[in-house]
Structure 1
Amino acid sequence: MSETKRALITGITGQDGSYLAELLLEKGYEVHGIIRRASTFNTHRIDHLYQDPHDPDARLFLHYGDLTDASRLVTLIAKVAPQEVYHLAAQSHVRVSFDEPEYTGNTTGVGTTRLLEAIRMAGIDTRFYQASSSEMFGATPPPQNEDTPFYPRSPYGAAKVYGYWIARNYREAHDMYAVNGILFNHESPRRGETFVTRKIARAAARIKLGIDTDVYLGNLDAVRDWGYAPEYVEGMWRMLQADEPTDYVLATGTAYTVRDFVRFCFDHVGLDWQEHVKFDRTYLRPTEVDSLIGDATKAQEILGWKAQVLPPELASIMTQAELDAHRG
């Protein structure tokens, strides 16, 4: 009987981390997650996966840790000795990164170095996934693939570029199995409420139910490539099962504006979006990313991965989830 695989997920309480934990548990993994200590519970996305750690059959374990605490990361890596590490944790809100550029760089950028160095110092044989981002492309015209030059337009994008290159450096300098998953926008009902897609879906549902009357948004002309998060975490897993480590773009290859997404959500509830959407310049970024459209040909050819859920269906999934949640 083969040994149970162990995986460590940073950012396990986030959207992607929760879906990835589900996927790995379904595949029979023992899953360990790093969570930050907080004065309030922040595990709601994974509460349904909870297992008593004292149960001999338990396969989900949570550990306190932080990307700014290098010694703790070394201790955890050595203790867990995972065969796979999925590094998803970050300060991941692009607009907030302009307000907190140093913190974003320290966690999203240098935090990746601390984790890679912890793996190297522990001397374990593991496969490492780095959550890279389409925001690294920034101002570079679409379509964007693995060979497209980076031109980040935010502290978040710049920090992700650092994380991308440090992962490649550890792959090339230390012969580490490290891959960069350059994921374009991927959403779900578990997206944080401050992210634009969730904000729009939530607003459409609340306005339909008479709870709210308006929603305030920034740039409606930004073009994005939106996919469905559960499909993207399967792509992450496939990257670490490949024979050789390399970097991949995951995307739908479709282009829709924020305005389109607004229309899809409000159409789902039978409302005219133009009667309820208001402009608020405080949501504009100092430097905007106009268009991100990914080319995932490499992932399809090597990993057999292809996005199935496209933005119109995604908007309906998210808006219906909000309706269901508010109706109880």
Structure 2
Amino acid sequence: MHKKALITGISGQDGSYLAEYLHTKGYEIHGADLSFSQLPLQVKNIIAGLYETDLTRPKLLKRLIQKIIPDEIYHLAAFHFSSQKNGNIQMPFEPFNSINLLATNEILDTIRHNFENCHFFYASSSHIFGKVDHYPQNEKTPYQPDSFYSITKAAGNELCKLYREYYGVYASVGILYNHESPRRPLSFVTSQIAEAAAKASLGMQVRLTLRDLNAIVDWGAAQDYVHAMWLALQQPCGDDYVIASGMPRRVHEFSRVAFDYVGLDANNFVFQEQATNTNKEFPHVGDSSKILSKCGWHPVISFNELVIDMVKAHIVRLTQKNQFSGYTKVGDC
């Protein structure tokens, strides 16, 4: 009999890749999200059920879980503002609380009272560590959340721990570091760089100005990270895991690889904001030793492969868009 999985936030990068991965494992997959307009068609075709769900109304999740009776729940939905830290400060607290915390509690409480054999995965974030005083960070690094997003994510971690230790719920937490893919929205700097390289390769005018080209980031591939999520739920007991590449990279390295792929010099297209103060804080870089040793996780997509795949995807998208709109390259007239 096929296992059933429910994925919240299935329309996002992680949700869609996780659905494809679980399909290869023979799962019956169900997805919940506010909209499915961004979900790739090839993913929609393998889903048993898609449910438009407003996660600011957590009680809807209880009814959905009771209807599906899943063996595994992957709670990937979250309210955040990409990598734009200020957005997390300026927005009201309520949507962060409803989606990141109250919805998490509703799922855990439903499992506790009705589905004791269900395994739960909670997608947390390295942002819970806030301003760190060392790197790399691991599962024992103290939380110092400094935004509504990171505060509610850290609280979600503690909820999972409480339900696991006091109620016997199988709850695993993945503390996810930055992970990218061709499905990353353009609100993220990595997609902006990849798109800029693609545009430049097609002869389009490009000038991309970024906040801090020297910022250090721990980047991995989303396809690898969803594999880690699945492995976390196949263990005898729930636990907390840092999921990261462990490799510090600078933003200008990402830019260089992207533009090198199309035979261009990134310095001619990507620029640093003049008024930016260089970040002197310790970077968020993760130590994944625990999930590597305990679960046997091994990422397979290299940094260069990740960047190049993103550029290739943008080239395809822009080429198709230009063919449809009758776009003419600069210099063709």
Q: 1:94 Cα deviation (Å)?
A: 4.0
CA distance 1:283–1:134, change in 2 (3 Å): farther
CA distance 1:310–1:105, change in 2 (3 Å): farther
Q: Distance in 1 between matches of 2:276 and 2:313?
A: 25
Percent identity, aligned pairs only?
A: 39
Q: Distance in 2 between matches of 1:210 and 1:35?
A: 37
Q: Distance in 1 between matches of 2:304 and 2:9?
A: 28
Q: Which residue of 1 aligns with 2:88?
A: 97
Q: Which residue of 2 aligns with 1:32?
A: 30
The answer to whether the 8 Å contact 2:58/2:98 transfers is no
Letter in 1 for 2:65: I
Q: Which residue of 2 aligns with 1:107?
A: 99
Find out whether 1:44 has 2:48 as its counterpart: no
CA distance 1:175–1:162, change in 2 (3 Å): same
Letter in 2 for 1:316: I
- The CA deviation string for residues 134-179 of structure 1, in whole angstroms up to 9 with x for no partner, is 1112211211111111222332222211111111111112110000
Letter in 1 for 2:71: Q
Identify which range, 120-129 or 166-175, moves more after superposition: 120-129
Q: Distance in 1 between matches of 2:88 and 2:280?
A: 13
Q: Which residue of 1 aligns with 2:325?
A: none
Note the residue ranges of structure 1 that are not aligned, 5 or more in a row: 52-57
Alignment partner of 1:132: what SS? strand
Q: Distance in 1 between matches of 2:280 and 2:148?
A: 12
CA RMSD of aligned residues (A): 2.3
Alignment partner of 1:66: what SS? coil
Aligned partner of 2:318 among 315, 319, 326:
326
Q: Distance in 1 between matches of 2:53 and 2:282?
A: 36
Q: 1:310 Cα deviation (Å)?
A: 2.9
Find out whether 1:168 has 2:161 as its counterpart: yes
CA distance 1:281–1:183, change in 2 (3 Å): farther
CA distance 1:24–1:288, change in 2 (3 Å): farther
Q: Distance in 1 between matches of 2:4 and 2:148?
A: 33
Q: Distance in 2 between matches of 1:177 and 1:283?
A: 45
Aligned partner of 2:171 among 168, 178, 191:
178
Letter in 2 for 1:98: I
Find out whether 1:241 has 2:234 as its counterpart: yes
Find out whether 1:85 has 2:73 as its counterpart: yes
Q: Distance in 2 between matches of 1:176 and 1:126?
A: 8
The answer to whether the 8 Å contact 2:100/2:152 transfers is yes
Letter in 2 for 1:43: S
CA distance 1:173–1:299, change in 2 (3 Å): same
Q: Which residue of 2 aligns with 1:257?
A: 250
**Off by >4 Å, runs of 4+ in structure 1:** 280-284, 287-290
Alignment partner of 2:233: what SS? helix
Q: Which residue of 2 aligns with 1:4?
A: 2
Note the residue ranges of structure 2 that are not aligned, 5 or more in a row: 321-333
Aligned partner of 1:64 among 52, 60, 63:
52
The answer to whether the 8 Å contact 1:9/1:86 transfers is yes
Find out whether 1:195 has 2:195 as its counterpart: no
The answer to whether the 8 Å contact 2:200/2:206 transfers is yes
- The CA deviation string for residues 16-66 of structure 1, in whole angstroms up to 9 with x for no partner, is 0000001111111111110215xxxx4333321334xxxxxx752101212
Find out whether 1:130 has 2:128 as its counterpart: no
Q: 1:180 Cα deviation (Å)?
A: 0.3
Q: Which residue of 2 aligns with 1:55?
A: none
Q: Distance in 1 between matches of 2:242 and 2:189?
A: 22
The answer to whether the 8 Å contact 1:226/1:310 transfers is no
